[in-house]
Structure 1
Amino acid sequence: MTGTQILVVEDEIIVAEDIRRSLQNMGYNVPVTASKGEDAIKIAGENNPDLVLMDIVIEGQMDGIQTAEQIRSRYNIPVVYLTAYSDIKTLERAKITEPFGYIIKPFKERELNINIEIALYKYRMEKKLRESKEWFTTTLKSISDAVIATDSSGCVKFMNPVAQSMTGWALEEAYGKPLKDIFNIMTEKTRRKVRTGGKDTNIEANLTVLINRHKSKLPIEVGSDPIRDDRENIVGIVTVFRDITERKRTEDNVIGLKDFYECVLESIVTGVWVTDKDDIISYANKGMGIVVQQNVVGINVLSDFPEFFRPYYLKARETLQPFYYEAVPFVAGGQTNYYSGWLVPRIKDGSFNGMICTVESIPRHEVAE
């Protein structure tokens, strides 16, 4: 209460002074009173009081309701009416100005005090709510994701600038329209080639596409959540989505490069194979199958691969340095074959993350005795 300043607008001087004295006894600060609407508006702008006590019938060209409307719209100062009039017509006019109280004369000091404190509390709460709304609205306007919020009927209540740009709808045009008319999406099936178990396989994936107001298609990533009140009732839906055109283009380029390099690897006769961090062979080209006469994908190098090879693999694995083995003999079925190749560790964050390996069969006559 300390420091709370109140402007009293009352055209009867004796009544105004009596109200002023009562308010000061309650601990409020009342530096000045006004008897006309024009004066009240000027004083409100100069002094910025915390609350205005407004008599409805006052001197001048404006009555108390018109004056309160000006003070609220210009300075956003809460108004409590003090009036001897309680008829429906006056009450309906007063309601339009959104007052924070309506006290019928004559009144008691305690009644006045309670109404002022309730009005001040309500105003503070509304101010906090407005500030929170502004904070959230500014945040939503600033983020790079598109956001659309609807009411419980699925009609648009809010769109941030990104959502407006992507859909082609301005908020003023979309407001109140069904979400399905503004946010028109569909799924498109895409076919992509992936390599599994050493084989090329076509898979189908669903891509969400936004069809904007101008009939352009944009690939998007989308999610939605319900908006609930304090009783957990759903009062709306918020939908968040983003344009993934660049990401999709990058993914397609990566897949294209992967297909290109795999095509190159499959065309060479040298065996090429790759292990993961657990030493399991995850990829092997056709040349590998020709050299070793078997499918090695899925094999653990340290437990299931020929023993002659393991020491070289372990050396490269432990040192994290490339290692070249040359004309290494391997006896199988009474026949000796010779192999050469590179072992190149894959390193991630300074640790072993797998191995890129090559293997090439060397004819006996090319091996120095």
Structure 2
Amino acid sequence: MDLPALLPRFRGRLHDPRTATVVGRLLGVAVLVCFVTGVVSHYLQEPPAWLSAHLPTRPVSGYRVTQGLHVISGTAAVPLLLVKLWTVYPRLFAWPPVRSVTHALERLSIAVLVAATLLELFMGLLNTVQWYVWPFSFRQVHWALAWVIIGSLLLHLAVKAPVVLANWRRRPTELREQDIEDEIDRRSLLLGLGTAVGAVTLFTAGQSVTPLKDLALLAPRDPDAGLQGLPVNRTARAAGITEEAVRAWRLHVEGPKPYDLTLDELRAMPQHRVELPIACVEGWSKSAHWEGVRIKDLLARAGLPDGARLRIVSLQRRGGYGVTEMDRPYTRDDLTLLALRLNGEILTPDHGFPARVIAPNRPGVLQTKWVTRLEVLA
């Protein structure tokens, strides 16, 4: 059926299934990596009961790698998605707009996929700069949208499978002269797209990939910027830490033999030094040297020689994660410390003075600062 006179007519040759398929393959890889690493991040932050006792503490930089990949792949997906939408947007003006009930459902599923993906990437980018302009929980909505995207994407691929397979690959012998010209234009488009994706990745990945840190011109966080050589997400002032609370500080450890320790008594215990990274959900990470008392030694003194599941309570009065939990894989690990020093210096207030948790393969939001209580959970 002919288009109504008021609707635009598209003469560009690259608004075709072949180009959409080629770009879609690249976008699919980015989305898959982003989804898988996002699932890892979610379950490390809030593991269900059946998983909590089995979380791995090795490799020690596991979360640093997976969360870095999550933010890198999500950032790379932005130009890929924009080009993908450019290749297919003339279909918005197809006439008639709906040909059947099946076609209407197909267009509805595509609308859900596009809307959810755009919102997911938009929220993810704002999260990297800690700018939350919405009234709802970022993490919960981000998690829910991820599953909406995967479900609608699988439905879309099932519907479009014949078209995708027909355009997945073309042999040179199958190309007509016009096809060859199109292929040249397509390669130019892909070269430009690859350059854009490469530039965005190269100039942002340095916030988590140390060898690229000097090139991180577009990254929202410089991992070298901060007191004691480490960035700070939440300052002591933002967390509501008062001088009076710090002066009266004691560490209370619950267990079969509960006890309290002053800071001097804590410093008198055997001190251990480890090198572990801080890796935050926003995508930045950096390794540092930490010194303090092993959590397992504190629990052994309370009558729990093989570790225990803990609730860790902070002095903080504002902001999330003032109370966190840590299961036995971490509490009995030799690298898990109640840290008192960072990079050879006493912790500053913004880094958690008097004491903070540092543990291997653990999200930064769970490396609790200003720790005042270790409560044993059943």
TM-score tier by shorter-chain length is: under 0.3
Give me the TM-score of the superposition, normalised by structure 2.
Answer: 0.20
Higher relative contact order (CA 8 A, sep 6+): 2
Give me the TM-score of the superposition, normalised by structure 1.
Answer: 0.20
The structure where helix makes up a greater share of residues is: 2
**The structure with more radius of gyration:** 1
The structure where strand makes up a greater share of residues is: 1
